[in-house]
Each structure stands twice: as structure tokens, then as C-alpha cells.
Amino acid sequence: MIRISLRVIFCLSLLLINSCSYVWVPDPIDPRLPKYTEKGYNTAGALINGKLWKSTVEYFLIGGAIDVPQVLFFPNQDSLVVNFYGKMDSLSNSTVTVSFLLKNTQVNGWEDMIQLKGEKFTIDGTANKAWVIPGYSFYTVPCPSSATGQLYIKYFKVDSTAGNHGIIMSGTFSLTQNDATCGSYQVTYGRFDYVF
């Protein structure tokens, strides 16, 4: 009896840990996309060339996680890199990175990120850049030319109950990219809601 109970507890623990990774709330207008939220649901979604790209952060019991977004600070260059990792609906095993390089942010670390709340960044390919990259991309960008569009950090909150650094960051994005190396992409209806 005790052996069965331990197995049940172990299985329930696995379900609980994996179920806490992300919350997917379908958008009422287009249920393929996640609804825009500001709760730290660890999801992002967009239509890339009309097909679903989605990011759902999942943590595992033994360690590790998938599709965890990244924020990299480069204070000496007054720049910030934000990477979102997700999968296309037609290529479920193929990761696609949506990456932003933001200049002149005056952000040196997490403590300065709050000043970006409400900021709309015009992605012009000069001051601020963005890319849609097939595969994972961390620091390097294989694409010679940048996309154009917008990144809007609508919501930013320090919340000690949110885990990790206790920071929730939510917003929207849209991009157009025409690059011979990385491809041509039209990114529409992009939205994100992550805990960092």
C-alpha cells in the first residue's frame, strides 16, 4: 500500500510541476494565439507568414526547461538583447528565435528594467534591430539585415510571488523581415507574457 501511494504521489508531483510551467489562454478572436495577458503566464505567440508560432515555457522535474526567454544586458554598449524561443505549428520540432537588439535603453540590469514599462521601440534596422531566426540564437545573429517593426513593452512588474527574479514582462510585437540568409517573414499579432 505504501509503495502504491509513493508512486501516486510521484506521478502527481510530475503533473503538478509540468502544469505550473505555462498557462495557455486562447485569444477570443483567434484561438490559435494566446490571449494578451499580464499575469506571467510564460507564453508568447504570433503569426509568422500566417502560421502559428508559439512559445510555452516548460520546466522539468530533473532540471532544465524549454523555450525560456532571454534578456542579455550590455551596459558598456548601452544595449539590451531580448530573445524569444518558440515553435512553428507546421514544424513542431523546429525552434524559431525572435530576437530584438535595443540600443540607448540605459538599462544595466534587472533593477533598471522597470523604466521600459510603456516603451514602444521602433525597429528600424539601425538604432533598434530585430530578426526572425530559424533555430536557437543566443548571442550571434546570422542574418545580415534587420527586420523592421515594433516592440511594445506594455507591462512590467516586480512580483515576489512570480518566481525567478520575480519579474513579469508583457507586451506586443510585429516585424517584417526580408533577408536572403535567414528568410522573409511577416510577423503579426505578436504578444508575450513571461516571468523572468
| pLDDT (mean) for 161-169 | 72
| pLDDT (mean) for 5-23 | 46
Higher pLDDT pick, 10 / 185: 185
Instruction: Please give the share of the chain, as a percent, with pLDDT higher than 90.
Output: 48
| pLDDT (mean) for 117-146 | 84
Is-contact 19 161, C-beta < 8 A? no
C-alpha cell at 90: 507546421
pTM (predicted TM-score): 0.82
Alpha helices in the chain (DSSP H): 2-19
At residue 11, φ and ψ (nearest 5 deg) are -65, -40
pLDDT band at 7 (very low <50, low <70, confident <90, very high): very low
- The pLDDT of residue 54 is 92
| pLDDT (mean) for 138-155 | 84
Higher pLDDT pick, 4 / 167: 167
- Residue 139 predicted with pLDDT over 80: no
- Residue 125 predicted with pLDDT over 70: yes
- Residue 33 predicted with pLDDT over 70: yes
- The pLDDT of residue 90 is 59
| pLDDT (mean) for 172-179 | 95
What are the structural domain ranges in the chain? 2-195
Helix, strand, coil tally for the chain in percent (to 5): 15, 50, 35
- Residue 5 predicted with pLDDT over 50: no
Q: Is 192 helix (H, G, I), strand (E, B) or coil?
A: strand
Mean pLDDT of the chain: 82
